[in-house]
Structures are given as C-alpha cells and as structure tokens.
Amino acid sequence: MAFKGGLFKVCGQKLGEQLKQFVANHSKTAVKPYFENLLAEHFPDRKHSVEISEDGEKLRIYYPSVLEKKSGPIFGRQCLDRIWRKKHYRTQ
C-alpha cells in the first residue's frame, strides 16, 4: 500500500506539531523544576533563576558572580585585573 505524497506530508506536519508541543510542555513541567531543585540543593545560599523559552528548546540559568558575592563588584574587577596581568606578563 502506497501513501500519496500529500497524505504523508500532512501526517508529518501533525506529528511535528505534536512533538513541538510535547517538548515545550515537558521542558516547562519537568526540566525547569529539575534544574531549579538541583541548583537549590547544591547552592542553597545563592540566588539563581532558570528560564525556559516558549518553545521549550532553550534553557537559561542566571546566577550571581562569585567575585561579587562578598566584596562587591570592585573587588571582582581587581581580581580579574590581577589575573590578566599575571597571564599577560608570563607570555612576554
């Protein structure tokens, strides 16, 4: 039994739409909570946020810089500047 080209195309489009909906739903109901719980368990004293795109294909995790945690952003910049200088002078 052979499928006509149009019928196969319609079935493929429906399957594709169902798969996109499944991925979006699964990402929002299973993947995002999993990462939120994992981060809360391993880093309880730090603020973070997890975002999922509308289509469920992109996961973004936002977290504070370790260098800015206790001493503020100026301390972080000073540390990065010292690290860069050491590396820069070693290569010369």
Output the pLDDT for position 1.
46
What gap in Å lies between CA 9 and CA 7, rounded to an integer? 5
Distant-in-sequence contacts of 34-38, Cβ < 8 A, 24+ apart: 35/59, 35/61
Position 64 confidence tier, pLDDT thresholds 50, 70, 90: confident
Q: Is the per-residue pLDDT at 27 higher than 90?
A: yes
Position 6 confidence tier, pLDDT thresholds 50, 70, 90: low
Q: How many CB atoms lie under 10 A from the CB of residue 27? A: 18
Domain housing 22: 5-90
Q: Considering the entire predicted model, what is its pTM?
A: 0.59
How many structural domains does the chain have?
1
Output the pLDDT for position 63.
80
